[in-house]
Amino acid sequence: MGNLLLGLLPLEPLCNVSDVLLSSFICRYCIFYCPLDLGHKLASSIGFRILATTMSTISQLQLIDRGVQQAGQVYNNAIIPMLIVGTVMGSGAEVLKPIAGILINRCQKNQLAYIKMSSNTKLALFLSILFVLEIQKSPLVLGLTRHQLLVYSLVMTITFKFLSLVYRTEHYIWLMEHRLCYTFFGGLSRDLNKFFKHKQKAHIHRGWMHSEYD
């Protein structure tokens, strides 16, 4: 998808046949034919998960940075295309989950579809915003160079993913998004209006009403 958005050949990552065959053979052997199921036991260990998380985070940051840089060259530093390409290349197949949800609900003839981005896609979008701000020389990045931003982003992302291995960070992200939507998109102002209208009605004192026969 990243190659399509950049005007490159979509199957270019599969041109190296030896690497594709070697990685496919190793993965298939470890999953199906490894003796005593050692591949599954190794993959389930906390040490392997920490190592895999670190390597995947480094690869994700490199893909996002490369996608933003190449999109800036192709689209003349246009902000929205750079954000889209960086997010797509950083989140991978997870960016297709909303589209898959729409298609599944369409096939099931269900008009209600709950569409949302995954946590990995949101993280890729946030990192893409940081790299775009660095390219645009924005003061929001506090004067950090590209390499400094890469190091700080790597430390921050690895810390976040390590926390995801221990805690349910998706729940806290959902709570934060809910509070932000409540504050900035009408929820807080609506409740404040109801509160002050209620207070005004409470201070109204009814006086005596006299008829013409009094």
Output the DSSP codes for 144-161.
--HHHHHHHHHHHHHHHH
Q: How confident is the model at residue 114 (pLDDT cuts 50, 70, 90)?
A: low
pLDDT tens-digit series, residues 38-77: 777 887 788 888 888 888 888 888 889 888 988 888 888 8
Output the DSSP codes for 116-137.
---HHHHHHHHHHHHHHHHHTT
Contact 57, 155 (CB under 8 A): no
Among 67, 66, 90, smallest CA distance to 161 is for 90
What confidence score (pLDDT) does residue 106 get?
66
Contact 88, 95 (CB under 8 A): yes
pLDDT over 80 at 107, yes or no: no
Arithmetic mean of pLDDT, 20-37? 80
Provide the 8-state DSSP code for 142.
T
Q: What percent of the chain has pLDDT over 70?
A: 79
Arithmetic mean of pLDDT, 192-200? 63
